[in-house]
Amino acid sequence: MPLLIEHVCQSLAAVAPLRLAESWDNVGLLIGDRQRDCRRVMTCLTITPDVVAEATDQQVDLIVAHHPLPFKPMARLTTDSTASGMVLELAAHRIAVYSAHTAFDSARRGINQQLAEGLQLTDIAPLLPDPADTSETPDGSGRYGRVAATTLEQIMRRAADFLKLPKVRYVGDPDAAVTKVALACGSGGSFLDAARRKGCDCMLTGESNFHACLEAQSQGIGLILVGHYASERFAMEQLADHLMQEHDELTVWASRSESDPLRQFSL
C-alpha cells in the first residue's frame, strides 16, 4: 500500500494535535490532495520564493511549513502578490502544504517543550496549560521551569549554545540571579505577564516589541531575544528527522535554501 499525503498528515497531527492551535490560526493541510502518493517531504520554517524553487527543483510532494501558507483568506490567486503567486506555483506542481503552527508551539513534544529541555530546565510545565488536558505532561502555551541557582548571563549562554548563535539580545542585568525561566518561541512578548505570575526571573523568546522590553525592565524580569528564526527553525530540522524515522518510505530533509532574513552589519 503506497504512503499517501494523508498518512503523513496523520503522523503530524499525532505530534501536534490541531485542536491546540489558536482560534485565529490556519492549520492542517492547506494545499493539496490527501490521496496523492507521498515520497519526498521538505520541512521549513516559512515558505518563501527560494523554498518554493527548492521544492519544485527537488520534486517535493509535501512541504511541512511552520508558518501557514496561505495564512489569511485570499480573494484572488494571481502573481500580483508574492503569497498568492507561491500558492499558484505550488499548486501547478502539485506540491502539498501542511502547517501545524501554534499547535506545534503548544504540543507536549512541540517547540516550546524542546526549547525548555534545550535550556536544561527541570519541572517543566506550560505557562498557560490546556484546560482540557489533565495528563502529567500536559499540552499548553509557552513553558517555564527551574534551574539550579544561576545568572541571566548563564541562561543566555545556554540558549546561544543550544541554538548555535554567536550572540543574543537581552533586557536586564546579566548578573541577576535566576532560578525560574519562562519561554515562548516566535514573537512571545504577550507571555510576559504569565511569566511574572509564575514567579519567573527571566523569559526567553524569539522577538518582542519595544514596549514589552520596557515592561520586562520595569518588572525586573530578564528578557532574552534569540530571534524569531532561531527560536523555531531548529524544531523543523528535528521534525524532518522524526518523519524519516516514522516512515521508512520517505525521503525527508529540512530546506537547505532557507535562512534567517535578518543580517548583522559590523561597522
Binding residues for a divalent metal cation: 66-67, 105, 228, 232
Helix (H, G, I), strand (E, B) or coil at 30: strand
The answer to whether the beta carbons of residues 51 and 255 sit under 8 Å apart is yes
Q: Outline where DSSP puts E strands in the chain.
A: 28-31, 40-44, 62-65, 96-99, 122-125, 128-129, 140-141, 143-151, 169-171, 177-187, 202-207, 222-225, 251-254
| CA atoms of 82 and 76, how far apart (whole Å) | 12
Residue type, 121: L
Residue type, 25: D
The DSSP output letter for 37 is B
CA atoms within 13 A on the CB side of 225: 16
The answer to whether the beta carbons of residues 259 and 236 sit under 8 Å apart is no
C-alpha 203, offset from chain centre:
16
Strands 169-171 and 222-225: what pairing? antiparallel
Helix (H, G, I), strand (E, B) or coil at 142: coil
The answer to whether the beta carbons of residues 252 and 41 sit under 8 Å apart is yes
Helix-then-strand count for the chain, H and E: 9, 13
Residue ranges for the known binding site are 66-67, 105, 228, 232
